[in-house]
Amino acid sequence: MDFAFFAADWLGKPAWMWLAFIGIVAALLAFDLGVLHKEHRPIEVRESLVLSGTYIGLGLAFGAWVWWYLGAEPGMNYLTGFVVEKTLALDNVFVIALIFAFFAVPAHYQHRVLFWGILGVIVLRAIMIGLGATLVSQFGWVLYIFAVFLIVTGVKMLVMGDKPPALENNALIRLMRRRFNVTDEHHGERFFVKQPDPATGRPAWFVTPLFMALIAIEIADLIFAVDSVPAIFAITTDPFIVYTSNIFAILGLRALYFALAAVIERFRYLKPALAIVLVFIGSKIFIADLLGLEKFPPAVSLGVTLGIIAAGIVWSLFKTRGGSARAGAA
């Protein structure tokens, strides 16, 4: 057997590192769906907290390995990207809750939608990160465009706030309803069902609301990726660090959803903190240029990011400690 293939360069790293990471992700997904959740049932808060903690622990363990094997700077960049993506995922939880409510997805089928949604996210992020890495390697000035975009996005979030998406006005959802047969009711766990066409009476394939919810979640992640991918490239341009930190943060999204969906309003002040983080990450490249630095110190970047997000979490929990009514009065 020729082992030279495993040492071949893939986007700056040996092939075996990419293959090992893909193997870990595949094993986690298989264990999650095939062992833990092979039966459709609602996931209790306690179970989701344990799962979320496990995924966070695995992500941090991988970061520790990156630190040990690749060095302190890649390790800190991985952790910074992981924290930023995990924080963005909290905003994603709120949107997913709106999607499930809009399509009236039963609690015991929500995990199925999220599982297939995660698979789609892994593929979409690979494509977007691959394109981003290609652009950055060919045109260094693209990083400045990413940086300006992050600053504008952060300022916009601070000034204009964040409005919930109007799903009924989503162009793709309206297009699917026009172009495809869509059932009004759910059909168990099925994304597609065959039943008589009301117009012709002949058997035809119909899309179920469960599949519509899946498409809406993929659209939402694509929108979130427009923020998160430039953010991680502003932290590091190493495709391996970019992709692994993104995916490890996303893997726990299902568990995070079931743990936080009911209490997401308690983190209402986390969004301004996230906006400040985006402005800070976007500003780093300009600050480094002004100070004559080759790059912004990763340790300072990680410390500032953790500090801002921690302050947002603490402030949110403090302001909402008496419940939503009291928080509203405050």
Model confidence pLDDT, tens digit, residues 83-125? 888 877 776 777 787 788 888 888 778 878 888 888 888 888 8
Q: What percent of the chain has pLDDT over 90?
A: 11
Query: Which pLDDT belongs to residue 330?
Result: 41
Residue 241 has pLDDT above 70, yes or no: yes
Say what the pTM is.
0.78
pLDDT for residue 38: 56
Q: Which residue has the higher pLDDT, 76 or 299?
A: 76
Instruction: Give the per-residue pLDDT at 325.
Output: 40
Q: What are phi and psi of 188, to 5 degrees?
A: 65, -135
Summary mean pLDDT of the chain = 79
Most confident of 56-70, 83-97, 138-152, 182-196: 56-70
pLDDT of residue 3: 65
Instruction: State the total domains in the chain.
Output: 1
Cα dihedral 282, 166, 209, 117, rounded to 10, equals 0
68 pLDDT higher than 90: yes
pLDDT tens, position by position, 4-48:
766 777 777 888 999 999 999 988 888 776 655 556 566 677 777
Domain that holds residue 190: 4-329
- Decide if pLDDT at 64 tops 90: yes
